[in-house]
């Protein structure tokens, strides 16, 4: 209920959304907001949002004032880097600055740190000024792009999340993007765009899309957009990215004209105009397969890997009866048939960084490996419990493993838990996220009286889900049978780190019967895993890289003394050189018999907290932010990260190879460890 207690949570959530790092508000500001907080419940009931908008105005003025202060410091320069001072880089748990004088001190330290990073990277004072002037101006430009819809969305989302962390409000733009992420398709030109300075820039041209059949190239800058063959060209220089995207997207088989500056030309170069016919574009973030060959116990095993970035489903196409609607289950079923033809010995379902998606897809996908039967139990707000069953026919009867990490959440946890409870698969990796709730998407436009309303969607928690064994994944997640090292501190990422999470609970088990029993295998598999990784140079390198990154992440402050930072940088560079030398030695020794790279899996939108954490240990700090480097340099960094051997995936394949080897030598064990009809050759 919306009472004083909930209003306090809404207020705190809104403050955290505006200023999560405590860089703009002061304790004095918060004190001045107290009347707004005290009357917030009544204001919401009456639809009066003047208080939240007034708070945003204070925030906006503070951003402008402190960016101006930073720019004055940059212009003046002359920082003393011989002082014994530090900058608190992680201010999440820091106290609010008492007043603007204290906040100015924090901003001075921030600018000094930015300057020092660039100085240590070898930049001249003139180059540093140029970079930082643009950086801080971009902060201000981003603020000025926010409109009343953004502020309203921010506050309404704080209100929604005061109930639980997964009840969210999606404004019209966010709602459209959510639909695209679930459908994995859109009507457009097939190009990935990003904002670089004042320009919307082509970051990637999607293979097979309309843009790939045009002269459009990576790095080209869009300066104008026109509709059809005759409508005027609209100048989009300086526009926010989503507004440019809205102009470029449109109905299938219509024409859009783009006025561009070629990527290899200067800003005063001659502009070119391209006409592109929009088509239905299939996005790349879909299920993909690869095959790893591993050698265990003197035998070679072909392990099929299916990487699934989300439990996607084209809801609209399914509702209208389209027989070819897109879904994760359909795509995985096709890949399993292909892997059978490839004569793989086992399959790894890679659900790392898969944050979930459609509950229906989690249930149906489970059926491809279990067959018909209950997959999950759902308890609604009235306490009513419903078993939800798979109606799919089992497609894969052979050995199966599921690879998960901390970013495997929601539908991924339903699938992994079902595989574990039914004894169908080994669960390998990190403890999962711990999201055990079900959300329903409420289209607010359909509820409006006005046909042209653009209100967005409410993503509302309506139920909890439970494993068929009666346990919940809420807070606890799914614990793997074979646990891999943590790539991120669970206190920093996961359901337990969110505000207002629902508690863990338990219900009665469903009426289900396991299809297999893997428990007798696990002690031997653990023993062989431990022995292998203990003498694996690649695994030990991964552990050392993770330890180095976690050590850096644990440091909440950083010295502003040049000599101290130079010494730390040299030590870090030496460590990176050591890591790279070890990596080259491993590659030379292995010569690729069991090599898998993250490039064999689809690109995926992942929280920065869990995206290739070890990569940070192998990249020298150039002091720049991603959009400050040339585009080709950013893309090269990404390729380098994606080309790193996927040590955890390779080890998961080895573990499955160990299982296959054990079953080959023991038909009686195979009969209990695999479902009916399953076998190993």
At 533-576, the pLDDT tens digits run 999 999 999 999 999 999 988 888 999 999 999 999 999 999 99
Structural domain contains residue 101: yes
Q: What is the mean pLDDT of residues 385-392?
A: 95
Return contacts of 561-565, CB within 8 angstroms, 24+ apart.
561/81, 561/82, 561/83, 561/84, 561/85, 562/81, 562/82, 562/116, 562/119, 562/120, 563/82, 565/81, 565/116, 565/120
Q: In this structure, are 256 and 112 located in the same domain?
A: no
Cβ atoms of 252 and 187 closer than 8 Å = yes
Q: Which of 166-175, 307-316, 441-450, 635-644 has the highest mean pLDDT?
A: 307-316
- pLDDT on residue 176: 79
Residues facing residue 465 across a β-bridge: 378
- pLDDT on residue 281: 86
Q: State percent of the chain over pLDDT 70.
A: 94
Does residue 606 carry a pLDDT above 70? no
Structural domain contains residue 206: yes
- Where residue 470 falls (left for φ over 0; alpha for ψ -120 to 50; beta otherwise) is left
Q: In this structure, are 9 and 144 located in the same domain?
A: yes
Poorest-confidence range of 112-121, 161-170, 390-399, 525-534? 161-170
315 C-beta neighbours (distance < 10 Å), count:
16
Q: In this structure, are 261 and 379 located in the same domain?
A: no
Structural domain contains residue 680: no
Instruction: Give the count of alpha carbons within 13 A of 14, CB side only.
Output: 28
Which letter does DSSP use for residue 208 in this model?
T
Q: Whole-prediction pTM value?
A: 0.88
Output b/e per residue, 201-230; b: 16+ Cβ within 10 A.
bbbbbbeebbbeebebeebbbbbbbbbeee
Phi and psi, residue 579, nearest 5°:
-60, -45
First to last CA, the chain: 60
Closest Cα to residue 435, out of 354, 513, 507?
354
Q: 235 to each of 238, 259, 275, how far by Cα in Å?
A: 9, 9, 16
Does residue 9 carry a pLDDT above 80? yes
The SS3 call for residue 180 is helix
pLDDT tier at 611 (50, 70, 90 boundaries)? very low
Q: What is the mean pLDDT of residues 424-444?
A: 93
Does residue 614 carry a pLDDT above 50? no
Active site residue 421: yes
- pLDDT on residue 170: 86
- pLDDT on residue 304: 97
Q: CB neighbours of 43 closer than 8 A, spacing ≥ 6?
A: 36, 49, 50, 51
Q: In this structure, are 142 and 225 located in the same domain?
A: no
* C-alpha to C-alpha distance for 594 and 294, rounded to whole angstroms: 5
Q: 99 to each of 22, 90, 102, 143, 175, how far by Cα in Å?
A: 12, 19, 5, 22, 38
- Of all helices (H) and strands (E), which one includes residue 380? strand 373-380
Is 653 buried (19+), middle (13-18) or exposed (0-12) by CB count in 10 A? buried
Q: In this structure, are 81 and 197 located in the same domain?
A: no
- pLDDT on residue 658: 96
Does residue 96 carry a pLDDT above 90? yes
For strands 346-350 and 400-404, give the pairing.
Answer: parallel
Does residue 372 carry a pLDDT above 90? yes
The tens digit of pLDDT for each residue in 346-361 reads 999 999 999 999 999 9
Token output for 622 = 């150039």
Q: What is the mean pLDDT of residues 219-231?
A: 93
- pLDDT on residue 612: 42
The tens digit of pLDDT for each residue in 475-491 reads 999 999 999 999 998 88
Token output for 545 = 């890289």
Q: In this structure, are 256 and 118 located in the same domain?
A: no
Reported residue count of the chain is 681
Does residue 277 carry a pLDDT above 50? yes
Q: CB neighbours of 566 closer than 8 A, spacing ≥ 6?
A: 120
Q: What is the mean pLDDT of residues 639-646?
A: 79
Q: In this structure, are 351 and 295 located in the same domain?
A: yes
pLDDT tier at 601 (50, 70, 90 boundaries)? very low
**C-alpha Rg value of the chain to the nearest Å:** 27
Structural domain contains residue 36: yes
* C-alpha to C-alpha distance for 81 and 562, rounded to whole angstroms: 5
Structural domain contains residue 513: yes
pLDDT tier at 451 (50, 70, 90 boundaries)? low
From the candidates 410, 412, 559, 618, give the one annotated as an active-site residue.
410
pLDDT tier at 300 (50, 70, 90 boundaries)? very high
Q: CB neighbours of 97 closer than 8 A, spacing ≥ 6?
A: 22, 26, 27, 103, 105, 106
- pLDDT on residue 608: 34
The alpha carbon of 50 is separated from its chain's Cα centroid by a whole number of angstroms, namely 34
For strands 385-390 and 426-429, give the pairing.
Answer: unpaired
Question: Angle 444-448-450 (CA atoms, 0-180°, nearest 5)?
Answer: 135
Work out how many domains the chain is built from and give that number.
Answer: 3
- Of all helices (H) and strands (E), which one includes residue 490? none
Domain membership of residue 488 as a residue range: 288-667
Active site residue 410: yes
- pLDDT on residue 98: 97
Supply the mean pLDDT for the chain.
90
pLDDT tier at 597 (50, 70, 90 boundaries)? very low
Q: What is the mean pLDDT of residues 426-439?
A: 96
Active site residue 41: no
Q: State percent of the chain over pLDDT 90.
A: 70
Token output for 475 = 């807070």
CATH code assigned at 210: 2.30.42.10
Q: In this structure, are 316 and 460 located in the same domain?
A: yes
* C-alpha to C-alpha distance for 341 and 529, rounded to whole angstroms: 29
Last residue of a domain, one of 282, 310, 327: 282
How many H helices and E strands in the chain?
A: 21, 21
Poorest-confidence range of 190-199, 399-408, 639-648? 639-648
Token output for 359 = 């509950």
Token output for 555 = 């440091």
- pLDDT on residue 624: 86
- pLDDT on residue 495: 94
pLDDT tier at 500 (50, 70, 90 boundaries)? confident
Residues facing residue 428 across a β-bridge: 403, 482
Structural domain contains residue 172: no
Closest Cα to residue 487, out of 615, 641, 613, 617?
613
Cβ atoms of 644 and 596 closer than 8 Å = no
Closest Cα to residue 587, out of 636, 648, 539, 538?
538
486 C-beta neighbours (distance < 10 Å), count:
16
Q: CB neighbours of 509 closer than 8 A, spacing ≥ 6?
A: 468, 469, 470
* C-alpha to C-alpha distance for 395 and 424, rounded to whole angstroms: 13
The SS3 call for residue 567 is helix
Poorest-confidence range of 37-41, 321-325, 446-450, 511-515? 446-450
Please indicate whether residue 324 or residue 301 has the higher confidence score (pLDDT). Answer: 301
The tens digit of pLDDT for each residue in 19-49 reads 999 999 999 999 999 999 999 999 999 999 9
Last residue of a domain, one of 161, 193, 215: 161
Q: CB neighbours of 303 closer than 8 A, spacing ≥ 6?
A: 291, 292, 293, 294, 344, 345, 346, 347, 348, 653, 656, 657
pLDDT tier at 602 (50, 70, 90 boundaries)? very low
pLDDT tier at 613 (50, 70, 90 boundaries)? very low
Q: In this structure, are 132 and 246 located in the same domain?
A: no
Q: In this structure, are 193 and 315 located in the same domain?
A: no
Residues facing residue 348 across a β-bridge: 305, 401
Structural domain contains residue 178: no
From the candidates 164, 220, 345, 421, give the one annotated as an active-site residue.
421
Last residue of a domain, one of 282, 303, 322: 282
> Max Cα separation, the chain?
79
CATH code assigned at 374: 3.90.226.10
Q: In this structure, are 276 and 378 located in the same domain?
A: no
The sign of the dihedral angle between the CA atoms of 50, 54, 60, 61 is positive
* C-alpha to C-alpha distance for 556 and 86, rounded to whole angstroms: 10
Does residue 594 carry a pLDDT above 90? no
pLDDT tier at 610 (50, 70, 90 boundaries)? very low
Q: What is the mean pLDDT of residues 364-380?
A: 97
Q: In this structure, are 40 and 82 located in the same domain?
A: yes
Does residue 600 carry a pLDDT above 60? no
Token output for 678 = 């399953």
The alpha carbon of 33 is separated from its chain's Cα centroid by a whole number of angstroms, namely 34
Q: What is the mean pLDDT of residues 443-447?
A: 78
Structural domain contains residue 674: no
- Of all helices (H) and strands (E), which one includes residue 672? helix 667-673
- pLDDT on residue 326: 85
- pLDDT on residue 565: 95
Does residue 282 carry a pLDDT above 90? no
Cβ atoms of 384 and 344 closer than 8 Å = no
Does residue 419 carry a pLDDT above 90? yes
From the candidates 114, 435, 646, 661, give the one annotated as an active-site residue.
435
Token output for 633 = 């340099």
The tens digit of pLDDT for each residue in 504-543 reads 999 999 999 999 999 999 999 999 999 999 999 999 999 9
Q: What is the mean pLDDT of residues 366-376?
A: 97
- pLDDT on residue 428: 99
């Amino acid at each position: 209920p919306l009472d004083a207690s909930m209003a306090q949570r809404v207020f705190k959530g809104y403050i955290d959304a505006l200023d999560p790092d405590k860089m703009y508000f002061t304790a004095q500001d918060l004190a001045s907001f107290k009347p707004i907080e005290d009357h917030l419940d009544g204001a919401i009931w009456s639809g009066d949002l003047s208080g939240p908008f007034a708070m945003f105005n204070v925030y906006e003025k503070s951003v402008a004032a402190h960016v101006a202060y930073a720019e004055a410091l940059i212009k003046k320069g002359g920082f003393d880097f011989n002082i014994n001072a530090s900058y608190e880089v992680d201010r999440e748990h820091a106290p609010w600055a008492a007043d603007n004088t204290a906040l100015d001190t924090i901003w001075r330290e921030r600018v000094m740190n930015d300057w020092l990073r660039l100085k240590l990277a070898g930049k001249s004072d003139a180059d540093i000024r140029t970079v930082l002037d643009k950086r801080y101006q971009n902060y201000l430009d981003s603020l000025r792009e926010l409109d009343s819809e953004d502020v309203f969305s921010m506050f309404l989302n704080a209100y929604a999340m005061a109930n639980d962390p997964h009840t969210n409000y999606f404004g019209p733009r966010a709602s459209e993007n959510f639909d695209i992420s679930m459908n994995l398709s859109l009507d457009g030109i097939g190009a990935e765009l990003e904002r670089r300075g004042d320009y919307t820039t082509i970051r990637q041209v999607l293979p097979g899309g309309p843009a790939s059949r045009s002269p459009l190239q990576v790095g080209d800058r869009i300066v104008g957009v026109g509709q059809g063959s005759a409508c005027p060209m609209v100048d989009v220089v300086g526009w926010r990215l989503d507004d440019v995207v809205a102009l470029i997207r449109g109905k299938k088989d219509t024409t859009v004209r783009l006025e561009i500056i070629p990527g290899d030309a200067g800003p005063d170069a001659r502009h070119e105009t391209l006409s592109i016919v929009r088509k239905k574009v299939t996005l790349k973030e879909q299920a993909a397969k690869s095959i790893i060959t591993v050698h265990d116990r003197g035998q070679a095993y072909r392990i099929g890997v299916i990487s699934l970035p989300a439990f996607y489903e084209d809801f609209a196409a399914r509702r209208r009866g389209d027989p070819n609607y897109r879904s994760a289950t359909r795509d995985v079923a096709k890949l399993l048939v292909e892997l059978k033809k490839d004569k793989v010995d086992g399959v790894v379902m890679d659900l790392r960084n898969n944050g979930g998606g459609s509950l229906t897809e989690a249930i149906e996908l489970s059926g491809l490996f279990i067959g018909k039967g209950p997959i999950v139990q759902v308890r609604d707000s009235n306490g009513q419990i419903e078993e939800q069953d798979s109606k799919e026919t089992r497609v894969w009867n052979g050995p199966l493993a599921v690879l998960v990490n901390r970013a495997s959440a929601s539908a991924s946890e339903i699938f992994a838990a079902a595989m574990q409870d039914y004894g169908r698969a080994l669960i390998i990796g990190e403890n999962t996220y711990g999201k055990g709730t079900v959300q329903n998407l409420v289209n607010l436009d359909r509820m409006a009286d006005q046909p042209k309303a653009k209100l967005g969607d409410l993503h509302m928690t309506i139920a909890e889900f439970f494993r068929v064994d009666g346990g919940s994944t809420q807070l606890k997640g799914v614990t793997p049978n074979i646990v891999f090292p943590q790539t991120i501190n669970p206190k920093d990422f996961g359901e337990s780190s969110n505000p207002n999470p629902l508690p863990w609970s338990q219900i009665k088990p469903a009426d289900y019967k396991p299809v297999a029993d893997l428990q007798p295998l696990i002690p031997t598999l653990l023993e062989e895993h431990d022995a292998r990784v203990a003498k694996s140079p690649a695994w030990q390198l991964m552990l050392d890289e993770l330890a180095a990154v976690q050590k850096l992440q644990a440091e909440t402050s950083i010295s502003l003394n040049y000599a101290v930072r130079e010494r730390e940088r040299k030590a870090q560079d030496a460590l990176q050189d050591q890591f790279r030398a070890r990596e080259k030695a491993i590659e030379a020794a292995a010569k690729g018999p069991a090599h898998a790279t993250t490039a064999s899996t689809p690109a995926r939108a992942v929280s920065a907290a869990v995206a290739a954490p070890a990569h940070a240990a192998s990249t020298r700090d150039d002091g720049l932010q991603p959009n400050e480097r040339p585009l080709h340099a950013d893309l090269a960094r990404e390729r380098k990260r994606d080309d790193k051997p996927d040590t955890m995936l390779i080890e998961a394949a080895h573990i499955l190879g160990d299982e296959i080897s054990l079953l080959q030598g023991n038909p009686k064990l195979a009969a209990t460890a695999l479902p009916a009809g399953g076998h190993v050759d």
